[in-house]
């Protein structure tokens, strides 16, 4: 999760987020080089005498400032398209989890298990335990197995919501009457926090998301226990 005074992105916990961070750094370096070049040219214009003011033809420089931006755009577009297609890949998911947005809480349904569903509300401040985070904790955490491909089906029952977990590189809109799909995976166990990222009413800020990734065998024990209960 994010920390105070953090300037960069959250640490990646999924392969997609690692790719997104690498692409962010790639694009940022290109922007830095362009900005440096523009600053250098501006400084030259301000500190040197103008020359060749009577030049009428400059085909060479025109070719350069036409072709060079096109090359730069291609260098940005190709990695972007690659990641875009990676986010839409669904290769035999181990588990399907359906998230339903409400005003103002989330409901979760484990489609592969019969009658395994629950609501997830924000934990009020006066119920927080030591070490828990205000406005980020919920009463029912969503438990999932790590190192497994999980298919998310995301929808809404009332207004537009957005199901987002930054450290996993997932942000998908929840639209009434429509099912959106996303792939989810975590390479390590732990708690991962997110929030609704679409303004959905007066309590929009009180729709946290908490995913708890555990080892595969522990998840099977957890699911079987809830199924028996």
Report the pLDDT value the prediction gives residue 122, as an integer from 0 to 100: 93
Report the pLDDT value the prediction gives residue 147, as an integer from 0 to 100: 87
**165 shares its domain with 81:** no
DSSP letters for 122-188? BPPGGGPPTT--TTT-BSS-EEEETTS-EEEEEEESSS-EEEEEGGGTEEEEE-BT--EEEEE--SS
**202 shares its domain with 137:** yes
Look at the chain and report how many structural domains it folds into.
2
* pLDDT tens digit sequence for 127-146: 888 888 888 999 989 999 99
**158 shares its domain with 191:** yes
- Enclosing domain of residue 143: 93-225
Report the pLDDT value the prediction gives residue 62, as an integer from 0 to 100: 81
* pLDDT tens digit sequence for 210-219: 999 999 888 8
Q: How confident is the model at residue 107 (pLDDT cuts 50, 70, 90)?
A: very high
**132 shares its domain with 193:** yes
**65 shares its domain with 174:** no
The CA–CA distances, whole Å, from 92 to 77, 95, 143 equal: 28, 9, 20
């Amino acid at each position: 999760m994010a920390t105070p005074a953090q300037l960069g992105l959250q640490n990646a916990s999924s392969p997609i987020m690692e790719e997104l961070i690498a692409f962010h750094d790639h694009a940022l370096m290109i922007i830095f080089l362009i900005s440096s070049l523009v600053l250098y040219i501006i400084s030259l214009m301000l500190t040197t005498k103008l020359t060749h003011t009577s030049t009428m033809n400059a085909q060479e420089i025109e070719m350069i400032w036409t072709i060079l931006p096109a090359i730069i755009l291609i260098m940005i577009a190709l990695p972007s398209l690659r990641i875009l297609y990676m986010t839409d890949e669904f290769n035999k998911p181990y588990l399907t989890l359906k998230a339903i947005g409400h005003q103002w809480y989330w409901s979760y349904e484990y489609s592969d298990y019969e009658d395994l569903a629950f609501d997830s509300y924000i934990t009020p401040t006066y119920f927080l335990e030591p070490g828990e985070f205000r406005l980020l904790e919920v009463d029912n955490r969503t438990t999932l197995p790590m190192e497994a491909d999980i298919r998310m089906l995301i929808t809404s029952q009332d207004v537009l919501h957005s199901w987002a977990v930054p450290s996993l590189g997932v942000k998908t809109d929840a639209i009434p009457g429509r099912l959106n799909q996303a792939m989810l995976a975590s390479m390590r166990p732990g708690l991962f926090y997110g929030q609704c990222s679409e303004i959905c009413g007066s309590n929009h800020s009180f729709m946290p998301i908490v995913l708890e990734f555990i080892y595969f065998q522990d998840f099977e024990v957890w699911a079987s226990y809830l199924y028996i209960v």
